[in-house]
């Protein structure tokens, strides 16, 4: 059973919950273990998570689950388009018939599969401090494959129209962060990398540069995604939202307690599987940060999440 690493690793999970590598460490390495001695006594950031990563990379079950979700999302999108009052964004209300339709999607582990660098970091014993450079180098490769069912869904969504004949526009709200890169003039090379990666998968579009909304691209675009969803909602009716983390849908849950997160989930219980579609991601995310630094204690404790929402 995996054991807990020091608090700094859990802090790293919070800082990088938007990207790959947010796994808790496994047993501390011995003198001859992979990467021992290289990290100056600090935990190896990506140690542990082998089973979760293998499930994403190697199981038919993950692909079946992902394809099932995306096929259901496609059907829900068709139904939502037919109803001009339908929205998947709680901040939207009133008459939305004047707005063209849109879908909002996360990128990592929703559209693009980053299990390859996750596995490499585990195998290489990547140190905590090396994670930002390792992640940025992966983005620069522009070679992430699509999550099963994602490309087909995006193509299908863009081919659909609302009752007024307006096509669906797909916006990607991602916590990939705009960071300067040595030798590159662009203020946000990560956006260029992501656009090129999507285009290589046949998912480019004339508006893709505007459809990609990265963390830090504007001062108000922080890890909390509400401001970016509201920016989309100001000009489009958001018919569907697809992500892999509760924070892709609900504000204020990244640092909430388990009980608070589940209460937030229950406030929109009827939206899951209808307006909101969540992909499974056992590798990392805000759910893991919420468990705290003692994962053995969390595992031994009684389940903190009730089976049903209140009133069911």
Quick: pLDDT tens for 198-227.
Answer: 999 999 999 999 999 999 999 999 999 999
pLDDT digits (tens, 9 = 90+) for 123-139: 988 888 899 999 999 99
- pLDDT value at residue 31: 33
pLDDT score of 46 more than 70? no
Beta strands of the chain (E only): which ranges?
101-105, 169-177, 212-215, 237-243, 276-278
Tokens matching residue 48: 């542990």
Residue 47: pLDDT band with limits 50, 70, 90? low
Q: Per DSSP, what are the bridge partners of residue 102? A: 169, 238
- pLDDT value at residue 20: 40
Q: Are strands 237-243 and 276-278 parallel, antiparallel or unpaired?
A: parallel
**Residues of 203-224 as b/e, b for ≥16 C-beta within 10 angstroms?**
beeeebeebbbbbbbeeebeeb
pLDDT average, residue stretch 280-302: 88
- As a whole number, the mean pLDDT across the chain is 87
pLDDT score of 142 more than 90? yes
The domain limits of the chain are: 7-300
- pLDDT value at residue 44: 58
Domain 7-300 in this protein, CATH class: alpha beta
Residue 34: pLDDT band with limits 50, 70, 90? low
Residue 180: pLDDT band with limits 50, 70, 90? very high
SS (H, E, C) 263-311: HHHHHCHHHECCCEEECCCCCCCHHHHHCCCCHHHHHHCCCCCCCCCCC
In sequence order, the 6+-apart residues with CB closer than 8 A to the CB of 183 are none
Q: Per DSSP, what are the bridge partners of residue 182? A: none
Residue 303: pLDDT band with limits 50, 70, 90? confident
pLDDT digits (tens, 9 = 90+) for 1-20: 333 333 334 334 433 443 44
- pLDDT value at residue 298: 85
- pLDDT value at residue 233: 97
């Amino acid at each position: 059973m995996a054991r807990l690493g020091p608090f700094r690793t859990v802090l790293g999970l919070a800082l990088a919950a938007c990207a790959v590598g947010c796994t808790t460490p496994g047993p501390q390495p011995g003198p001859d273990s992979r990467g021992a001695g290289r990290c100056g006594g600090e935990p190896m950031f990506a140690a542990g998570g082998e089973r979760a990563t293998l499930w994403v990379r190697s199981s038919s079950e993950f692909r079946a689950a992902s394809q099932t979700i995306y096929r259901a999302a496609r059907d829900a999108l068709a139904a939502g388009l037919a109803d001009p009052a339908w929205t998947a964004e709680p901040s939207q209300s009133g008459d939305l018939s004047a707005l063209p339709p849109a879908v909002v999607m996360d990128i990592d582990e929703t559209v693009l599969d980053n299990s390859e660098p996750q596995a490499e970091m585990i195998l290489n014993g990547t140190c905590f401090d090396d994670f930002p450079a390792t992640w940025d180098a992966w983005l620069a490769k522009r070679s992430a494959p699509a999550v099963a069912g994602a490309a087909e869904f995006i193509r299908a969504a863009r081919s659909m129209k609302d009752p007024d004949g307006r096509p669906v526009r797909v916006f990607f709200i991602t916590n990939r962060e705009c960071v300067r890169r040595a030798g590159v003039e662009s203020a946000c090379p990560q956006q260029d990398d992501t656009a090129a990666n999507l285009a290589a998968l046949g998912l480019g579009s004339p508006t893709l540069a505007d459809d990609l909304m990265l963390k830090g691209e504007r001062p108000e675009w922080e890890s909390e995604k509400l401001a970016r969803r509201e920016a989309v909602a100001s000009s489009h009716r958001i018919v569907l939202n697809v992500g892999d983390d509760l924070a892709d849908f609900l504000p204020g849950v990244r640092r909430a307690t388990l009980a608070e997160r589940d209460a937030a989930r229950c406030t929109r219980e009827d939206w899951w599987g209808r307006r909101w579609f969540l992909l499974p991601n056992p590798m990392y995310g805000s759910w893991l940060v919420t468990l705290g630094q003692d994962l053995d204690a969390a595992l031994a404790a009684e389940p903190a999440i009730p089976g049903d929402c209140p009133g069911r």
